[in-house]
Structure 1
Amino acid sequence: MLQSMTGYGKSEVNTECLKISIEIKTLNSKSLDLFVRISPRYRNKELELRKIIGDQLLRGKVDFSIAIENLSADNNSRINLNTVQGYIANLEELNIEGSKLDFLKMAVRMPEVFTNQEVEISDAEWKLVIDCLTSTLQKVNEFRQEEGGSLEKVLQEYAHNILNLLTEIEKYETERIDGIRSKLQKQLLDLQVQFDEQRFHQELIYYIEKLDINEEKVRLKQHCKYFFEVMDTDFQAGKKLGFISQEMGREINTIGSKANHPEIQKLVVLMKDELEKIKEQINNVL
């Protein structure tokens, strides 16, 4: 079963004095691109959190945030009094109109006014954070699996369309060869020159062999078969499916260059359209 790189999950846990919320959003990306918004309380745990997320999500653009709501009267934020007084003194030196209260309101908006005291995180609290993260990651992966199921159905449909169009090409192959033979004969007759009939047929066979597309058809069918196998067996299949689709494109292009028939050319264009749809969807496969 495929997995999409698009996912979402959110979980909350409570301690005696804190409400902890973790939210994760994921989008497609060629590699793991992890953006973290984390409370200063857990800043020293950031590397550990990154490793857990990376091990679970593997690839994609990941937006991770952990927020804390203080449920008690205690707060580890403190006002840096010396900094505030310094800002007020500087404002007074500017000789601008305003009361002490006005200057205080401006000063508390300045940088480094509030400081956070280091708080030792208990093992019990950290376990709750990890449990919350695990729950969120599980929700993200469930979302990804659901989206991946939808992607798989769409990709199967597009690949089957290519195989159906390939079958349609077979209807025109005899007509194509006959057309080439008639065209060459007409051109020789128009030239009004003598030619060896046996030599003409030898050259015709050589020319038709150059335009033969049976090998391309066989390889394209094999690529499509492998495409289905990878979707069924590999949940992290995005890059591999991308490589297979490139090989499919090479065979379709070669068939088009050898087609020499208007109806086959139309079918090749339709096959290319289906292949472009495949490539677009693969960009979101894990």
Structure 2
Amino acid sequence: MIKSMTGFGRGESSDEIHNFNVEIRSVNHRYNDIVLKMPKHINYLEEKVKECIKNKISRGRIEVYINLEYIDDSAIEVKVDLLLAKAYKNALDDLIDKLGMLDDVKLSHILNFSDIVKTERKELDEDKTWACLNLAVEEALNNLINMRIKEGLILKSDLETQLDVMYDIIEKIEERSPLVVKDYKKKLELRIKEILNVDYIDEERLAYEVAFFADKSDINEEVIRLKSHIKQFKESLEDEEPVGRKLDFLIQEMNREINTIGSKANDLVISNCVVAIKSQLEKIREQVQNIE
């Protein structure tokens, strides 16, 4: 089944230390472009997160937002630089003495120096951290994929409708094509009679000219290939694998065939049909841009 490249998914996972909240958004893109925003101290897990995504999504711009809260305060360590604190106190005492101020150095004064107290994350078990994060990533991915599938079903239905409309127009071209040669023969015969002002025409010469025109304007092969491409397109919509690039290629091929038909068929009715098909193909192309 086809999937849209647009979607959103959220996942959450907790253990006795971590609480992970993961949000994943995706939009259309030619390649698999993954952008991660996560706490710096767990950047070592970035490649594992990307690998999870690549295993399930082959195309699109994927934006991943990972938020981590620690449940257990044992994961946080507060360090105080006592030597630096004493140095600051001695310097402040000396300054007060030299300025002749009647004041004392208080703890609040020393704490204004941000380099005295530092908060650090303790060394955590990498496997345990990943196990918790992986659950949240998988949940967010599954929710994202479900949304992409739902939107894919809507796209599939719309594409099938557009293809049916296009097929009907092609059949009109097919019905009209034999009449073009007959109309050309009648017009050519009348024109020759008008120009030469005669009632008799060399039938052999006329047949030659009509045969030449018929060969030059024959669009039977192009119509057959165009119908074949539409059939392939519809069959591809049922594939389980990502088909976005394949559908894009088929659209290019259909455009090539309809352009050839337009250049060969010297007929107003067929020309109008060609314009209508090009309009349908453009609508289809826009939809395909959002298929994985």
Q: Name the TM-score, length of structure 1 as normaliser.
A: 0.83
Change (3 A) 1:117 1:186: same
Match of 2:237, SS state, is helix
Where do residues 2-13 of structure 1 align in structure 2 (5 Å cutoff)?
A: 2-13=2-13
Q: Which residue of 2 aligns with 1:96?
A: none
Amino acid in the other structure paired with 2:262: G
CA distance in 1, matches of 2:149, 2:275: 32
Amino acid in the other structure paired with 2:139: S
CA distance in 2, matches of 1:114, 1:277: 59
Change (3 A) 1:51 1:163: same
Does 1:208 find its partner at 2:218?
Answer: no
Match of 2:34, SS state, is strand
CA distance in 1, matches of 2:79, 2:63: 31
Q: Which residue of 2 aligns with 1:187?
A: 191
Q: Which residue of 1 aligns with 2:92?
A: none
Match of 2:139, SS state, is helix
> Shift in Å at residue 126 of structure 1?
2.4
Does 1:139 find its partner at 2:165?
Answer: no
Where do residues 131-280 of structure 1 align in structure 2 (5 Å cutoff)?
A: 131-192=135-196, 196-280=202-286
Q: Which residue of 2 aligns with 1:18?
A: 18
> Shift in Å at residue 122 of structure 1?
5.3
Match of 2:269, SS state, is helix
Where do residues 27-106 of structure 1 align in structure 2 (5 Å cutoff)?
A: 27-73=27-73, 76=76
Match of 2:65, SS state, is strand
CA distance in 1, matches of 2:58, 2:208: 58
Change (3 A) 1:178 1:17: same
> Shift in Å at residue 73 of structure 1?
4.2
Match of 1:172, SS state, is helix
Match of 2:4, SS state, is coil
> Shift in Å at residue 75 of structure 1?
6.2
Count, aligned residues: 267
> Shift in Å at residue 193 of structure 1?
7.7
RMSD (Å) for aligned C-alpha atoms = 2.9
> Shift in Å at residue 40 of structure 1?
2.3
Return 5+ residue gaps in structure 1 as ranges. 86-100
Report Cα offsets for 1:128-160 as digits up to 9, x if no partner.
211221111111111111111111111111111
> Shift in Å at residue 17 of structure 1?
3.6
Percent identical: 30
Which of the two has higher C-alpha Rg? Answer: 2
Q: Which residue of 2 aligns with 1:91?
A: none
Amino acid in the other structure paired with 1:173: S
CA distance in 2, matches of 1:79, 1:181: 98
> Shift in Å at residue 173 of structure 1?
3.0
Return 5+ residue gaps in structure 2 as ranges. 89-107
> Shift in Å at residue 245 of structure 1?
1.0
Amino acid in the other structure paired with 2:56: Q
| Residues 122-131 or 187-196, more deviating | 187-196
| Residues 165-174 or 212-221, more deviating | 165-174
Change (3 A) 1:216 1:128: same
Change (3 A) 1:73 1:271: same
Amino acid in the other structure paired with 2:39: S
CA distance in 2, matches of 1:38, 1:143: 23
CA distance in 1, matches of 2:119, 2:281: 57
Change (3 A) 1:175 1:122: closer
Is the Cα–Cα contact under 8 Å of residues 41 and 119 in structure 1 kept in the other structure? Answer: no
> Shift in Å at residue 3 of structure 1?
1.0
